[in-house]
Structure 1
Amino acid sequence: MESDTIAEVSIDDSGRLHVRPSRTQFPHVWRAAMEVYWNESSTTLHSPPPRSWSYVDWYRQIVAAAKDEYGCTLVLTPETQWVNVPAKLREAVLAASRHEA
């Protein structure tokens, strides 16, 4: 199975969670039918703004969609940049990522 590091995790002005892989692109991730999309201009996977799901749920969904549709495991590293992500949420995402590893 292929893997890629996550270069950046961010939340945009619309409230969508974005995950930017370091090198892999996922233009057809929508085929996984998981409400995860590829933004060509920002080269990020993104969710819709949270409704009933938390950002941690959407992070898990984004990572799962990349794995299900492309066979690519996305991995957070100490070099991952966090943009517009509150510290508490960052810690929750990191904890969820460690739990799934």
Structure 2
Amino acid sequence: METDSIEEIGIDEHGRLFIRPLNHHFPMIWRSGTEVHWDAKQLFLHSPKPREWSYLDWYKHIISVVKEGDGGNCELCPIGSTLWTNVPTELQRQILNSLEVLS
């Protein structure tokens, strides 16, 4: 399995959670039918605007789809220099704490 660092985690102007990998691109991830999409202009994976699921749920889902699904067999990992854009401090904490559970 390949790994890639997460360059940026954010919430865009449409209210979607996005994850920008440092090196990998996932243009065909939509084929997984998981509501995870690739924005070819912004070069990030994104969820729809949350309805029933929280942003944390979507983060976990995107990471899981990329790692285990038809998304690409790649483990995405935040690093010390990961940018957090429009992500509340509490959500940042929850995402970082979830890494132990996801491992």
Please state which band the TM-score falls in when normalised by the shorter chain.
Answer: over 0.9
- Matched residue SS, 1:13: coil
- Tell me how large the CA RMSD over aligned residues is: 0.8
Give a deviation string over 1:43-70, Cα, whole Å, max 9, x none: 0000000000000000011111211121
For 1:82, which of 77, 81, 84 is the aligned residue?
84
Which consecutive unaligned segments of at least 5 residues does structure 1 have?
none
Distance in 2, matches of 1:15 and 1:98, equals 26
Superposition map of 1:12-91 within 5 A: 12-67=12-67, 68-69=69-70, 70-91=72-93
- Matched residue SS, 2:84: strand
Once superposed, which parts of structure 1, at least 4 consecutive aligned residues long, lie more than 4 Å away?
Answer: none
Give a deviation string over 1:33-90, Cα, whole Å, max 9, x none: 1100000000000000000000000001111121112100101111111000000010
- Matched residue SS, 1:25: coil
Distance in 2, matches of 1:57 and 1:32, equals 17
Displacement of 1:19 in angstroms is 0.1
Q: Taking every aligned residue pair, what percent have the same amino acid on both sides?
A: 42
Amino acid at match of 2:47: S
Q: Which protein is richer in strand relative to its size?
A: 2
Distance in 1, matches of 2:28 and 2:61, equals 15
Which consecutive unaligned segments of at least 5 residues does structure 2 have?
none
Alignment correspondent of 2:94: 92
- The count of corresponding residues between Structure 1 and Structure 2 is 101
- Matched residue SS, 1:51: coil
